[in-house]
Amino acid sequence: MAVGTAGAVDSVRMPPAHELTADDVPHLERVLRWVDVLVVQAVRDDYRGLPVGTAQVAAGMRPQARLVRVPNYFSTVLYPEQVLVRHDDPGVADPPVVPYHDVRRLGRAAGWSGPEEAPAAAVRDAARASLAELRRREQEQRSLVVSDVVLEAGSRGGWTVDHPGNPVLLALAQRVLDEAVGPGTAVHDPGRVLLGSVRSPLRGSVLEALGLGGDPRPGWVVDGRELTDEEVGAAHQEFYATHPRVVEVGVAKKAQVLRGLGWTP
């Protein structure tokens, strides 16, 4: 945990909310009885049928304990075509290899057409919209701010749309530490990549359009294994052929993204 690199706090890391099971709840409740500061993201009440919503968890803390909210990070600045498709329909599942869709492949599977290379203006528009949405979430969730760091981090800003890179994580960790214990101690780079189990390709044209520094990445890295984008694309195209509901829902939910990139039905 990046906050722990400062050596100023004793920390316990709980699994993320989407991994929690009923067996984890007693352990969480036990931690809440002694914790001084709880760092949380916004989670709705009774998430996946468990009492692990932010408000529910906060209610179990000691009166003198403090809550520090961090944003639910999601940024398409570096990856304007990368989307997640979530739906209650049991016919909508994540694709194989990586759970991230290239919205152009979804569009193509639904009969849309458009440019393979997004125009520079579209990349910039998408980045502005993504940062504006992240800022809106920060304000709505009353969380610490990290949106101001994304562009500064350049190509190291994130590995995927929902996994920020080390510079963003360390900046947020410093703000958590400042909020929790006050200024005077500093976090340090742990010397390893955080949240990097899946690393997306990063096009040089996106970096150029945004005026960002850093190096492009031609392919994927998934749990240490290098894959070309063509390999991932072939697996996803085969998946779409046998899961038409994913295509239907995906395009319906992400039509605005497609149109913003110059695609039409």
Alpha helices by DSSP H, listed for the chain, are 25-32, 54-59, 103-109, 120-141, 166-181, 204-210, 229-242, 244-260
| Predicted pLDDT at 157 | 95
Instruction: Note the pTM of the prediction, 2 decimals.
Output: 0.91
Give average pLDDT by consecutive 10-residue segment, the chain, 265 residues: 67 87 93 92 94 94 93 96 93 95 98 96 97 97 96 95 95 91 84 93 97 95 97 98 97 97 97
Q: What is the pLDDT of residue 212?
A: 95
